[in-house]
Structure 1
Amino acid sequence: MKKLSVHHQGILKVEEDDPLTLKVFTEQDFTSRIIVGEVYKSSFFSIFIITGGSMLVKHNLREFLVKENSLLFIMPSTIYEFTEVSADFTVVGSVFSVDYMSQTGIILNTSSVVEVMTGAYQPYYAINIEERDLLLNLQEVLKKALAEEQTVAFLPEIKKHSFLSLFYHAASIYARYNVSHKVKLNRREELTIGFLRLLAKHYKEERSVKYYADRLFVTPKHLTQMLKEGTGRTTGSFIDRAVIVGAKVLLRDPSLNISQVAQELNFADQFTFAKYFKKHTGITPSQFRAAH
C-alpha cells in the first residue's frame, strides 16, 4: 500500500510570508496544487463554490462526494484527502489567512462563526441555484476589488466588505443547515469554541491565559495545547490578536484620545498600551492613527 504523506504547506500554496493573505482561486489553481490520493493539511481557510463536475473528499476520515452546485469549506490544521476529481470539475473560491480574518473582526463579531472556524462541522453543503448565483456574484465582486489599482479611493474598505459579504453569506448556509443537524463536538472543539466565545466577551478586560483556562475548568497548558492542535495557534496569540484588533477599531474613533483607548482596553496607562501595541504591530498607536 502506498504511504500517504501530509503536506504541511497547505492545499493551496500562497505567499507564506504574507500574514494577511486573501486570494481568489479557480479550478486551474485548485487542480494544479493538489495530487489525487495524497493527504493535505491546509495552512489557510478556504470557501469553494463547486460549479461543475464532482470530487471525492475525505475530511476527518469521513468521505463526501462533492458535486455541482455545492459549497465546500477547507479549514487550517484539518486533514483532507482528495481521492477523485472528475475531468469536468470546475470551482471558484477564496483562500484567506487566520490573520486576515482577525483583521476584519470576524473572530470577535459573532460566536456562531466560531464553530465554522474550528472544523467541527460537515465541510460540504448542497446549495440551490439562487444561493449559488449569489455566492458567485459576491465572489466576482471580491475578485474585481482585489484586482483594482492601489490608487482607488477606499480600496482597503472595499476589499474588506466584499470579503465579509461573501464570508457571512457562506457562513449563513452552514448555520441554517446546523439548525436541524446539530454537530457533536469533541472535547478539543468544545474548548476552542468556549474559549473564543469567552474571548469575544472579555478581551477588553482580561489578557491572562489563566483567566480563560479557569473559566473553562482546565489548566492553561491544556487549553493552549488543545487550541494549538485544533487551530495551529496558541491561547496567547488569540488574546493578543483580539486586543490588537479591538485597539485598531478604537483608534479609528476620533472622539477617543489614546489615553481613553488604553483605559477602554484595561491598560494601566497609555504608555503601557503603546508599548504593547508597538510590540505586536511594529508601530505606535499614534503612528497607526496618523496612517488611518
Structure 2
Amino acid sequence: MEQERFGSFSLEKLFAMNDLSQVGAVYNRECFIISCDPGKEIELFKYPCKINAFILVICSEGEISLTCNLNSCEIKKNTLFFCHSGAIIQLKSYTACQLQVIILEEEFLKNLNIDVKRILPYYPYMQEMVLIDLPQDESTFIKDLLDKAALEIVHSSAKPYYHDMVKALIHSLAYKILNIFIDFFLAQLSANRMSLNHGEEYFKMFISLLMQHYKSERSVGFYASKLNLTPKYLTTLIKKVSGRSAADWIDEYVVLEAKALLKYSDMSVQQIAYYLNFSDQSFFGKYFKKQAGVSPTVYKMQK
C-alpha cells in the first residue's frame, strides 16, 4: 500500500521538471537519454518518484546508491541497472560517477518492433530490478551506443533520417541488452541462484508451450490442458506472476509475430492470416486491429 502514496510521472512531466541542459537530451518525449560526468550534480530522482517508463543505467566510473521499489541498490563501475516501468526510484547518494541513463516509454519500445519472444520465460525476474556486473568491453559497447544516440539527438534533428538513425541505434542497444539478460538469467538459473516458486514454474512452462504452439493455438484452454490445470487457475497463476493474463500473453505473442511478418516478410496479409491459423483475412484483420490499433494493411504500409 505504501507504494500507492507516490505520484506517477510520465517522461513529459519528468523532463518539464528538470533542467535538461544539465542532464542530457530528450528524443520525442518518449526517449530520455542522460549523460552525467564526474563533477556534475545529479538532481534527477532526488526525491522518490514513480516513472511510467523503463530505466537503464550503465556506470562507467564511481558509484551510485539508490532505492528501487524501496529496495536498496548499489551501482558500481561497469554495472548495468534495469528497472521495469512503474518502479519507484529514489537517488540516495553518489561519488564522482560517470553515468549513461536511458529512459524509454513502453510505446517507444513497441514502435521499434523488437522481437522479445526469447526473453519472455525470464519475464518474472524483470519485474523488480536487474543488476548485472559487466566485462569492460560490454560496458564500453553500451556506453558508446548511448553516446552515439545522444549525439544524433543533439546534432541531427533537422536531417531527413534523424528519427531512423536514433531508432536504429536504440534498436541495436535493445538487442545487446536482451542478449546480456539471457546470458545472465541462464547463468543464475544454472547456478541455482534463482529458485522458481510454484507460479513462476508454471509461467515458464506456459511460455515454453506458447513458443511452440502460438501459430496454431490461441485458447487459454489448450495451454491449461497441456499443464493439467483449469483455464481459470492458469489465468490466476499467470496474472499473479506477470501482472498480465494468459490471454494477454497469447495475444501479445501472436501480434508480435504478425507485426514481424507484416514488416519484414513478402507475405500478403491473407497469407499471414492463414500462416497464423486464422479462418480468414477478415477475422485476422479485426483481431490485429483490436490489439495493435491499426489494420494489418495500414501497419504494413507504415515505416
Compute the TM-score of the two structures, normalised by the length of structure 1.
0.75
**Which residue number corresponds to residue 162 of structure 1?**
172
1:127 and 2:134 correspond = yes
Name the CA distance, whole Å, in 2 between partners of 1:266 and 1:237: 18
Which residues in structure 2 correspond to 1:1-292 (within 5 Å)? 7=6, 9=8, 13-15=10-12, 21-26=30-35, 31-35=43-47, 38=48, 43-57=52-66, 63-76=72-85, 82=90, 84-98=92-106, 100-101=108-109, 104-108=113-117, 110-111=118-119, 114-115=121-122, 118-119=125-126, 123-144=130-151, 148-149=156-157, 151-152=160-161, 155=164, 158-159=168-169, 161-171=171-181, 174-175=184-185, 177-178=187-188, 179-180=190-191, 182-253=193-264, 255-292=266-303
Q: Give RMSD over aligned pairs.
A: 3.8
Whether contact under 8 Å (1:277, 1:285) holds in the other structure is: yes
Q: What is the letter of the counterpart of residue 155 of structure 1?
A: D
User: CA distance change for structure 1 residues 278 and 268 in 2, over 3 Å: closer, same or farther?
Assistant: same
Q: Which moved more, 1:121-130 or 1:276-285?
A: 121-130
Compute the displacement of 1:120 (Å).
Answer: 7.2
1:187-224 CA distance string (max 9 Å, x none): 33333333333323322212212223333344434444
User: CA distance change for structure 1 residues 226 and 51 in 2, over 3 Å: closer, same or farther?
Assistant: farther
User: CA distance change for structure 1 residues 290 and 67 in 2, over 3 Å: closer, same or farther?
Assistant: closer
Name the CA distance, whole Å, in 2 between partners of 1:280 and 1:116: 20
User: CA distance change for structure 1 residues 241 and 173 in 2, over 3 Å: closer, same or farther?
Assistant: closer
Compute the TM-score of the two structures, normalised by the length of structure 2.
0.72
Name the CA distance, whole Å, in 1 between partners of 2:41 and 2:4: 21
Whether contact under 8 Å (2:67, 2:73) holds in the other structure is: yes
User: CA distance change for structure 1 residues 132 and 268 in 2, over 3 Å: closer, same or farther?
Assistant: same
Specify every segment of 5 or more residues in structure 1 that has no aligned partner in the other structure, as ranges: none
Whether contact under 8 Å (1:8, 1:43) holds in the other structure is: no
Whether contact under 8 Å (2:66, 2:73) holds in the other structure is: yes
Q: Which moved more, 1:154-163 or 1:179-188?
A: 154-163
Q: What is the letter of the counterpart of residue 93 of structure 1?
A: V
Give the SS at the match of 1:200.
helix
Compute the displacement of 1:8 (Å).
Answer: 6.4
Q: Which moved more, 1:132-141 or 1:226-235?
A: 226-235
Q: What is the letter of the counterpart of residue 161 of structure 2?
A: V
Whether contact under 8 Å (1:107, 1:200) holds in the other structure is: no
User: CA distance change for structure 1 residues 175 and 280 in 2, over 3 Å: closer, same or farther?
Assistant: closer
Give the SS at the match of 1:207.
coil
Compute the displacement of 1:262 (Å).
Answer: 0.6
Q: What is the letter of the counterpart of residue 172 of structure 2?
A: S
Compute the displacement of 1:71 (Å).
Answer: 1.3
Whether contact under 8 Å (1:76, 1:232) holds in the other structure is: no
Q: Which has the higher contact order (CA 8 A, sep 6+)?
A: 1
Give the SS at the match of 1:55.
strand
Name the CA distance, whole Å, in 2 between partners of 1:230 and 1:146: 37
Name the CA distance, whole Å, in 2 between partners of 1:107 and 1:207: 19
Q: What is the letter of the counterpart of residue 238 of structure 1?
A: W
Matched length: 279
Compute the displacement of 1:75 (Å).
Answer: 2.5
Compute the displacement of 1:73 (Å).
Answer: 1.9
Whether contact under 8 Å (2:33, 2:150) holds in the other structure is: yes
Q: What is the letter of the counterpart of residue 14 of structure 1?
A: L
Name the CA distance, whole Å, in 2 between partners of 1:188 and 1:141: 41
